[in-house]
Amino acid sequence: MERCFVLSKVSSSNAMWGGRFAEGPSAIMREINASIPFDKALWRQDIAASCAHVTMLAACNIVSAEDAAAILAGLETISGEYEAHGVPENWDLEDIHMTTESRLAELIGVAAGRLHTARSRNDQVATDFRLWVRDAIDQTDAGLAALQRALVAQAGVHAASIMPGFTHLQVAQPVTLGHHLLAYYEMIRRDRSRFADARARLNVSPLGSAALAGTGFPIDRAMTASALGFDSPMRNSLDGVSDRDFAIDYLQAAAQCALHLSRLAEEFVIWASQPFGFVRMADSLSTGSSIMPQKKNPDAAELVRGHSGRIIGCLTSLMVTMKGLPLAYSKDMQDDKPPVFDAANLLGLSIAAMTGMVAGSSYRTDRMRQAAELGFATATDLADWLVRQADIPFREAHHITGAAVKLAESRGIALDELPLADLQAIDNRIDDRVFAALSVEASVAARASYGGTAPDQVRARVAEALGELEAEA
């Protein structure tokens, strides 16, 4: 009972560190050293890894079956407590690992001390964190798949809805809204592939690496790796406890994904502005003004745009933390988790916001089509017509078209409103067939190359995307 009391009523880190230190930590050391305020997020992974570890210890006859059964029962009880009431924060216990072990000792007595056999907090936290990041990747992937479905659904509805395509935010050529939205589907598709690659690389188990050199106990690392869903144990114990590449991989994928979400958010900010008026944002993702009653602000989109900077900062933070650390474990690595936790939360919110925005906005296709007729968006079609029908080299056709645009601009009319005589005065090889190529509908329909904006091409890409998403399901 005395030993149980000492473990369960730890009053300072001195009790955890054993007899090495004569004095307890100062208040400053206690505060800077404690990670329980943030690493309590690992409790599910910590209990799962502990269950796998003690099951292996029993199978290898390192601990008795009776002690293992008591430990497993105690861990199940703790899991229920954490689920119902949250993880208590006792800074004297430092972290989630000692918090759980202390509670286990209160429940089952001295047998709790056998749980840490052949294990260090170094490989314990490396395992827990790896499991947490794997779960975060799976949650991110599910959210991105939902965003893709929203994009594809709207692309199918708007496969033939004409809007201006931009370069330099100037009207360039007509495209369809479906084509525009599918561009983001492709970006998110690449994002998902990056997360999948990161998951594949992280899916090896550091458990059993112990402090840094492995352990002298006859453990079965393959058994614990399999129990936790890893492909195999890590092959080097030093690497096992010191590697945080998996967290950086996750943050790199998150940062790239956040860039794409930010670009899409910026589109909605622009489209929702009065000069554009391409979309009406859902009330549920908009806010008003404290002083201007007419305002409907795209705050969700702006926050997604802002979150991208914070997520990039999280990546930078962890990379700078890791850049100068010698093998194996250093306390700096305690700061590996906050940027990952922060980025995962921000990314999840951003994905959900953009999914709701894509699915819930009303698209003003009438305004989009009007805008597509501005800025001489079919000028390239005139040049292409000259190449196809008059066998004029493209560079010469480009020059002729430029002259036609200049004339139309001087008169304040569209290209297809220029009289045939005026066009022929610029170049007599132009005939009345040209007008069939100068409408925005004709322009869009002509872009029928693979991956182009022609409605039939957009519908084909929608069908492909739906097939991909259904195959995943």
Known catalytic residues are 168, 289
User: 3-state DSSP call for residue 214?
Assistant: coil
Q: Which pairs from 85-88 meet CB under 8 Å and 24+ separation?
A: 86/40, 87/36, 87/40, 87/43
The encoded tokens of residue 313 equal 């900062």
Alpha helices in 175-220 (DSSP H): 177-202
d(CA 263, CA 286): 18
- Contact between 355 and 304 under an 8 Å Cβ cutoff? The reply is no
Strand 279-280 relative to strand 232-233: parallel, antiparallel, unpaired? unpaired
What is 388-451 written as a DSSP string?
HHH---HHHHHHHHHHHHHHHHHHT--GGGS-HHHHHHH-TT--GGGGGGSSHHHHHHH--STT
Could you report how far apart the first and last alpha carbons of the chain are, in Å? Answer: 54
Closest CA to 72 of 87, 58, 86: 58
- Contact between 210 and 142 under an 8 Å Cβ cutoff? The reply is no
Which residues pair with residue 298 across a beta bridge? Answer: none
- Contact between 429 and 387 under an 8 Å Cβ cutoff? The reply is no
Q: CB atoms < 10 A from the CB of 394, how many?
A: 12
d(CA 95, CA 337): 12
d(CA 164, CA 176): 8
Torsions phi, psi for 99 (to 5 deg): -60, -45
Fill in the amino acid letter for 150: A
Residue with tokens 């004297």: 92
d(CA 87, CA 170): 54
